[in-house]
Amino acid sequence: MKPFEYRRIHTVEEIGHDDPGQARFLAGGTNLIDLMKHEIEVPDRLLDISRLKLATLKDCENGGLRVDTLVTNTALASDPRVRKTWPLLSAALLSGATAQLRNRATTGGNLLQRTRCYYFYDTARPCNKRNPGEGCSAREGQNRIHAILGASDQCIATHPSDMAVALVALEATLTLRAADGRERELPVEELHRLPGDHPEQDTVLEPGELIVAVTLPAPQPGRQIYRKVRDRSSYAFALISVGVILQVVEGRVESVRIAFGGVAHKPWRARKAEAALLNKAPTEANFRLAAEAELVDARGYGHNDFKIPLARRTLIATLRDAAHSEEEVPT
Amino acid sequence: MTNPAAIGQPLDRVDGPLKVTGRATYAAEHAFDQPPLIGWMVEATIPAGRIKRLDTGAAEASPGVAAVLTHHNAPAQTPFGEPDDKGRFTQSRAMLFDEHIRYHGFPVALVIADTLANARHAGALIEISYEPDEEAVTTAGEEADEVPGELDGGMEPDLFKGDFEHAYDDAEVTLDVTYTTPNQAAAAMEPHATIADFDGDQLVVYMSVQLIGPSVKALANTLKIDPDKVRVLSPYIGGGFGSKLGVHNEAILACLGALHLGRPVKVVQHRRHVFHNAPHRGNSVQRIQLGASRDGKLQAIGHESFMPMARGYEFAEPTGASARTTYRTDAIKSTHRVKSTDMPLADSCRAPGHAIGSLAFESAIDEMAYQCGQDPLAFRLGNMPDRDPGTGQPFASHDLAECLREGAEKFGWPSREPQPGSRSQGRQLIGYGVASTIRLNILVPSKTRIRLSADGTLTAWADMTDIGTGTYTILTQIAAETMGLSADRIKIELGDSRYPSSSGSGGSFGAASSGSALLNACENMRTRLLESAREQGLIGDEPADDARFENGQLILGDKTLSFTEVLNKSGAAYLETDGEVEPGDDHDNYSQHSYGAQFAEVHVDRDTGEVRVQRLLGVFSAGRILNPKTARSQLLGGMVWGLSYALLEELMLDERYGAFMNRDLAEYHLPVNRDMPTIDIHFREHPDPRSNPLGSKGIGELSICGAGAAVANAVYHATGVRVRDFPITLDKILRHLPE
């Protein structure tokens, strides 16, 4: 670990103008500290935000829920309101990591965790995400867990969060605070970037900008299902995950939202699939057309070729489950 | 009343309270008045070649650093692999010897500092440039063509029986398939760790190692010091599974650091180090050819094994062992070829030979059963041998058929649908699988010494190790039963090279070997006690065979004497006796194995190809069961590993770098609790007097052999898809499942 300066802050106002740049926020530390030990992350300064009073869940007037950034994954997944109204989010959280990690990991931190690409973790190997311009070792290396959508020549890494997939499907919004105190709102869907020519930038956050809260809007009516496919049944990142909210009225798809995990550098909102399904009958054939519409541009890099059929099959199976379920989430 | 500590009782682990309260001292945990300095291993990042330039200036100037050891300043050593006529466990394991890189991850420097953080950071400041060997060999497959000197366990590389080519060509039904298994890690929970300290001019090495005696020799040989000046302690080991049989890299480095600085040095391998700096199991290609008559009688068994061998490190796995010993046949062709590679060291890992051999062979046998139109269970039962098919020797005992029959009944095998892919529940395809289990039963020379003190307590000493299997406990039981003592009167002292030379732990031979030596020592102690009592006139001339030893007392005729009385009368503070065991004619003349039969039920998701094992059942025959609780735990672990080999474990090799890329336990997939099904274990308990004086047989590696194949065969039965490239990950099934 490279020596660094550590400062604990108690109010957001203590975030100074000199902090942007090489400062990093420390919350649960479940990913950042590991990366610092490997000297993959080498911040000059850590601002410990874990004592900020940002760990509550608040009902919003419009039926939504505001989740402060320091709410732990465990607290969020087990909140009765979340379990009842946004079960997709609860299921996604509980499918991730382990109980010990979820107890420690925070909402904001979960969104900002970094890829698990093997080459990102191995400092002896070229990696554009770690050292821009070095090259990508994964394209022609071990890439079983890598992206099939939206990758670039520079990077084929995936974003590992399950929670983020659910938040994108639920159209959650972030409240961000810049170092100078200005606040702005940003849909979660717009937080993460595709790698393009700058895979070192995971998100669109400005230096020093802090995620203050995530707001869940009142959900679309419909059945919510999170399906995660992985090599072992727990403590494994998704090969493919799908979050679906499907409402069928009188034999037609009234509304649908779909997001994939494990396929791209960001949680992947499947708008093409949604458009293909809207107003159509919830049949196996239509599910297939929807999946194919979304995956038309998908490509594999060898070991991960199977993810394309797996994504298609998983989406069809999840839509089938959602359509056949009689139970609908009360709104 | 039965002694609750007697052999065969489910005695709780005697070291259990120490372990669960953190008082069992593992290698890295030994406490010192002055804390040892901490060493951090810096690894090479090329598979082969030489160090061109090494700049340690910034590291040496970094805070807290006491020394940076490289091949420029490390103490003198014997060259790696010498003497070449000695076994790998005593040869030199020199580190930081010269500029030569043996494999990716090979240590090129040891940074020694006051704290781990300081050492690790300084390690990142070392600048190294390499001259890579462009010819580095980082893969091995069917092209392997070197004949190894011998196979692990002493088997010959090639075995030919009958006329295989004719028998195979003439067979009515034939099968010719190639299976592959990946590189695998032992993945012990405790990483490899060592503290090197001094006691006067003696080097005292606390390390996590399975074989103590050879480790003393290896350290002395490597470091060019007198073996008398080396003491190794390894009282507790957090799992070894073969990867801790011999000394490993951090042990040599800790000793070099201590010798260089004259101060104690601790080196604990980081989890990411372990994957390259502890031995792993190499990948295998196994070509299997089977020939049978139409009615399902095997006539020809061919098994060709191809595996890597780390250059300069002789180890060849007997992958063909299962093919040579499990089924009756007229002709056998079994060959082993290796290829020298510039890969990390390949060595013993969780039942070398049988574990991955059975994975492939018992899958191929399953294929043959279907080809002959037979139930896989019936096919196996129809091919039981009456003597060892490979060696022609009679079996010391053999009840594989009984294990299969008993297991089938308990599992509910008859309810199985014969046709693969014919049973489902919702979107889940359901399948049953079976496999035979067989594992070599080995006895190795072992010694022990015991002392019976006048206070009626008994202490036993051996340089034996307990790798978490329960050795302290079963040795307590052997002494308790033989001497008629309760467990709390017995103290077992292990894991110190000052104690008598024992088998150590490995190859499932530990309990049989160290236990038989202790049994012998206790029998000698009974004789000594009787002699002493007679000399004191405490007993008459009654035949010694009539004597009983119960509750700390010697009972003969109408006399009941406490051990304390006998010793006090003789004036001795204690009596000491030695015990030993050597494998005899029964191991030369008989084929010695443990047996079992394993059954699996799996569900395969027809949408995603995910396999989830619903239940495993095993019936095992391993002679006399010394402690059903610890025996069961070992079998449970082996069955979980079998599942793991079938479905999960694989070191992902990047051939460009000769490196395993998934070097952590998040990405090297071992089963988690949720992957583990209901596991049902049954014993067929028949003491085997030809095995050893205890009548026990090896159990530690038994259940991993066959468990994986039972799972793989169940996957086939569920789906009709036969995956021959392990592990059976969902992608390999998915491509064959209809949408």
CB within 8 Å of chain A, chain B residues 423-482: 427
- Check residue A327 and give its pLDDT: 47
Q: What is the CATH number that goes with domain B159-183+281-442+588-734? A: 3.30.365.10
CB nearest to B672's CB, from A121, A141, A234: A234
CA gap A214, A157 in Å, rounded: 25
Q: Do B124 and A39 touch (CB under 8 A)?
A: yes
Task: Return d(Cα B115, Cα B66) in angstroms, integer.
Answer: 10
Which residue from B314, B168, B185, B327 is spatially nearest to B244, judged by alpha carbons? B185
Contact A232 B120 (CB under 8 A): no
Fold of B32-134+187-278: Aldehyde Oxidoreductase; domain 4 (3.30.365)
Q: Is the Cβ pair B672, A232 closer than 8 Å?
A: yes
β-sheet bridge partners, residue B208: none
A42: closest chain B residue by CA: B121
Q: Do A314 and B673 touch (CB under 8 A)?
A: no
CATH number of B16-23+444-582: 3.30.365.10
Check CB contact of B680 with chain A, cutoff 8 Å: no
Locate B236 and state its tokens. Answer: 């507790």
Question: How many CB atoms within 10 Å of residue B330?
Answer: 18
Question: Which pTM value belongs to this model?
Answer: 0.97
| Beta-strand pair B193-199/B159-161 | unpaired
Mean pLDDT estimate for chain B: 97
Cα–Cα dist B143/A46, whole Å: 53
Give, in degrees to the nearest 5, the angle at Cα A31 between A30 and A32.
Answer: 105
Q: Name the percent of chain B lying above pLDDT 70.
A: 100
Task: Please tell me if residue B127 touches chain A, with a CB cutoff of 8 Å.
Answer: no
- The residue ranges of every structural domain in chain A are 5-50, 223-324
Q: Which amino acid is at A30?
A: T
Residues 6+ apart with CB under 8 A from B585: none
- Return d(Cα B385, Cα B323) in angstroms, integer: 12
Q: How far apart are CA B635 and CA B631, in angstroms?
A: 6
Bridge partners, B126 (sequence order)? none
Q: Identify residue A265 by its one-letter amino acid code.
A: H
pLDDT tens profile B444-486: 999 999 999 999 999 999 999 999 999 999 999 999 999 999 9
**Three-state SS sequence of B578-621:** EEEECCCHHHHHCECEEEEEEEEEEEEECCCCCEEEEEEEEEEE
> Which of B120, B659, B674 has its CB closest to that of A233?
B674
Mean pLDDT confidence for B86-97: 95
d(CA B566, CA A17): 86
- Provide residues of A within 8 Å CB-CB of chain B: 1-3, 37, 39, 116, 118-119, 121-122, 124-125, 137, 140-142, 144-145, 229-237, 239-240, 288, 306, 309-310, 312-314, 316-317
Q: Tell me chain B's radius of gyration from C-alpha atoms.
A: 27
Predicted ipTM of the assembly:
0.96
- Among residues B278, B268, B286, B285, which one has the least CA distance to residue B247? B278
Looking at residue B66, the DSSP 8-state letter turns out to be E
Yes or no: say if B360 and B254 are a contact pair by the CB < 8 Å rule.
Answer: no
Spans of chain A below 50 pLDDT: 326-331
Contacting residues of A for B659, CB less than 8 Å apart:
122, 124
CB within 8 A of A147, min separation 6: which ones? A156, A157, A158, A263, A264, A265, A304
Average the pLDDT over each of A16-30, B384-398, B693-707 and give the range with the smallest value. Answer: A16-30
CB A246 within 8 Å of CB A222: yes
CA distance B461 to A39: 47
CATH of region A5-50: 3.30.43
Listed residue (A30, A163, A188) closest to A93, CA to CA:
A163
CA separation, residue A60 to residues A170, A214, B104, B137 (Å): 15, 12, 56, 63
Could you give the CA distance from residue B78 to residue B508 in angstroms, rounded to a whole number? 32
Residue range B576-601, pLDDT digits in tens: 999 999 999 999 999 999 999 999 99
Kind plus residue range of the DSSP H or E element containing B717:
helix B704-719
What are the pLDDT digits (tens) for A117-146?
999 999 999 999 999 999 999 999 999 999
Task: Say which DSSP state B413 is in.
Answer: G
Determine the length of chain B: 739
Residue A324: the pLDDT is 87
- Domain boundary assignment for chain B: 16-23+444-582, 32-134+187-278, 159-183+281-442+588-734
Could you report how far apart the first and last alpha carbons of chain B are, in Å?
65
Average pLDDT over residues B77-93: 94
- pLDDT for residue B20 is more than 80: yes
| pLDDT of amino acid A330 | 39
Q: Does B75 touch chain A (CB under 8 A)?
A: no
Min Cα–Cα distance to chain B from A64, Å: 34
Determine contact, residues B194/B266, Cβ cutoff 8 Å. Answer: yes
**Quick check: B661 and A122 CB within 8 A?**
yes
B659 touches chain A (CB under 8 A): yes
Give pLDDT, residue B739: 87
The CATH number for A223-324, chosen from 3.40.50.11440, 1.10.357.10, 3.30.390.50, 3.40.50.300, is 3.30.390.50
Whether B580 sits among the annotated catalytic residues: the reply is no
Across the interface, do B673 and A234 touch by the CB < 8 Å criterion?
Answer: yes
Residue of B605, B645, B654 to mutate for A, most A C-beta atoms under 10 A = B654
Instruction: List CB contacts (< 8 A) between A142 and chain B.
Output: 652-654, 661-662
